[in-house]
Chain A
Amino acid sequence: SAVISQKPSRDICQRGTSLTIQCQVDSQVTMMFWYRQQPGQSLTLIATANQGSEATYESGFVIDKFPISRPNLTFSTLTVSNMSPEDSSIYLCSVWGGMGDTQYFGPGTRLTVL
Chain B
Amino acid sequence: DAKTTQPPSMDCAEGRAANLPCNHSTISGNEYVYWYRQIHSQGPQYIIHGLKNNETNEMASLIITEDRKSSTLILPHATLRDTAVYYCIVRVWGAQKLVFGQGTRLTINP
Q: Chain A: residues with CB nearer than 8 A to chain B?
A: 4, 31, 33, 42-45, 48, 90, 92, 94, 96, 100-108, 110
Name the CB-closest residue of A to B46.
A102
Q: Which residues of B contact A45 (CB under 8 A)?
A: 97-99
Task: Knowing A31-B96, A42-B87, say if A103 contacts B46 (CB, 8 Å).
Answer: yes
B101, A42: Cβ atoms closer than 8 Å: yes
Question: CA–CA, A48 to B97, complex, Å?
Answer: 9
A42-B101, A102-B49, A103-B46 known; 14 other A-B pairs, CB under 8 Å? Answer: A33-B96, A42-B100, A42-B102, A43-B44, A45-B97, A48-B96, A48-B97, A90-B41, A92-B44, A103-B98, A105-B44, A106-B43, A107-B42, A108-B41
